[in-house]
Structure 1
Amino acid sequence: MISFFRKIRQKLLTQNRVTRYIAYALGEIFLVTIGILIALQVNTWNEQRKDSNREKLIMQSLHSEFLGISDKLQSTIQHHEAILGTTKGLMKLFNEPESVLKNHNLDSLIEKMIDFRVYNPSQFVIDDLTSSGNLNLISSDTLRKLIFEWGTESQQKVETYNTLDDTSQLLLVPYIIENTSLKNIDRYGFLNWEEKSKFNSETHKLFLDLEFENHLDNYAWGIVNYLQSLNTLKNLTNKIISETSPNQLPEQ
């Protein structure tokens, strides 16, 4: 093709047809330019198609990951709602007569109350998106905003858990250790001791002490605060699942 154009140029020049040569040269430049533009457009279409395919895979991965997050998160919320319910039940027993207190298995209830758990969701897809910079491949502004909010609220969840853990480990549990038998309480937990403590321990007397009531009140506040963070994450999870559902996938 190049040889063909060269021969035409030479023929026009030898025939001293300068005007025709210039017109031909301009036409040749025009054709080359059009060819380059078409090639660039084709390349752009190919890149857009690749980005669209990558976005589709990202959306599918996010959808699958957040379905798993949703199940575990719901289980964690239910567990801590039960803990809050137990704590509120114990709060009603303060300063009740000894006969009333001894009708309850207080050791078992206390063990259930302090069985809070950390929630650390598996978020490999989100971590990979943020570290690789592929978050920009997501065309939905709404979804990108939700992912940013998820990161912020995840950090907030860590802080509320740490507050709860500090309240338990630095205030509530030390008080329990000093005033009753932890072994008797642990009989209903992971340790599952077969025998009670051989030391004289009267757990019901805790509920005649204002200090213990204050510790439980403080602990209940920590549980509520933690639940608020978990429920915020749950709402964000539901929105992300909706935004990444199959009918939201980008068209090819």
Structure 2
Amino acid sequence: MISIFRKIRQKLLRESKVTRYLAYAIGEIVLVVIGILIALQVNTWNENRNNQKKETGILKDLHQEFQLNKASIDASIQQHQTILEAIKGILNLMGQDNPELSENQIDSLINMSLEYDNYSPSQSVIAELISSGKTSLISSDTLRTLIFEWVQEIEDKNEGYQSLDVVSENLLLPYLTKNGSMKNIDSNGMLKGIGRSRLSSSNLALVQEAEFENHMDNQAWGITNYLLKLEKLREIIEAILYHTQAETP
């Protein structure tokens, strides 16, 4: 097409038809510009289609990952709710003259109060998204916000766990080691089957001690605080699943 315009232009110049030459020259320029615009439009269309395919894959991967996270966080919340109930059970026994409780029962409750654990969700998809900068491929502003909120809440959850663990390791466990029987406590947990201590120490006597009550109260506070962090994470999981569900098979 351009070669045809070039021949016409040369003919018009030889014939000194300047006006018609200019018209053809302008037409040639217009055609070139239109061609460039069409090429840019096609390129943009192809790029957008590729980005949509990538986004679809990202949303599918996110949905699958957070389905797993929902199952694991539900289990973790249930675990820590059970721990909190055990601690509340101990606190309700504090100061009773004749608590209706056996040595084995108090040992089991104390052991349960120490069975907390740090929730560790799957984060491979989100980690890859953030490190690669692919969050920009997600068209939903709400979903992008949820992803960064998740990262922040994970940090808060870890801080809550560290606070709980420091208090337990530095205050509660040293107290139990000094004033109670760790063997009797452990015989109701991971060391089940080792038998009870033959020494005279009794964990049942601890329910008459104000210091033990304070340690249990601290433990209850730490577990409650940690549960709040887990509940917040669960809310974000539900929201991410909602905003990615359209891409599930």
Q: Same fold (TM over 0.5)?
A: yes
Deviation at 1:151?
1.1
Q: Which residue of 1 aligns with 2:83?
A: 83
Root mean square deviation, CA, Å: 1.7
Residue matched to 1:240: 240
- Corresponding residue number in structure 1 for 2:10: 10
Distance 2:170 2:110 in 1: 16
**Matched letter for residue 39 of structure 1:** A
**Which residue does the alignment assign to 1:230?**
230
Give the match for residue 198 of structure 2.
Answer: 198
Q: Bigger CA drift: 240-249 or 91-100?
A: 240-249
Give the partner amino acid of 1:66.
F
Measure the CA separation in 1 of the matches of 2:13 and 2:248.
62
Kept after mapping to 2: 8 A contact 1:186/1:193:
no
> What TM-score, normalized to structure 2?
0.95
Distance apart, 1:216 and its partner CA: 0.3
Structure 2 distance, partners of 1:12, 1:31, is 19
Counterpart position of 1:146: 146
Residue of structure 2 equivalent to 1:181: 181
Matched residue, 1:26: 26
Q: Which runs of 4+ in 1 moved over 4 A?
A: none
Cα distance, 1:100 vs structure 2: 3.0
8 Å contact kept, 1:183–1:193: no
What residue ranges of structure 2 are gaps of 5+ in the alignment?
none
Residue 181 of structure 1 contacts residue 197 of structure 1 at CA under 8 Å; is this kept in 2?
A: yes
5+ residue gaps, structure 1: none
**Percent identity of paired positions between Structure 1 and Structure 2:** 49
Counterpart CA distance in 2 for 1:37 and 1:213 is 77
Q: Name the CA distance, whole Å, in 1 between partners of 2:104 and 2:124.
A: 45
Alignment TM-score, normalising by the size of structure 1: 0.94
Matches within 5 A, 1:44-193: 44-98=44-98, 100-102=100-102, 105-193=105-193
* Secondary structure, counterpart of 1:59 in structure 2: helix
Matches of 1:88 and 1:109, distance apart in 2:
10
Counterpart Cα distance in 1 of 2:141 and 2:99: 62
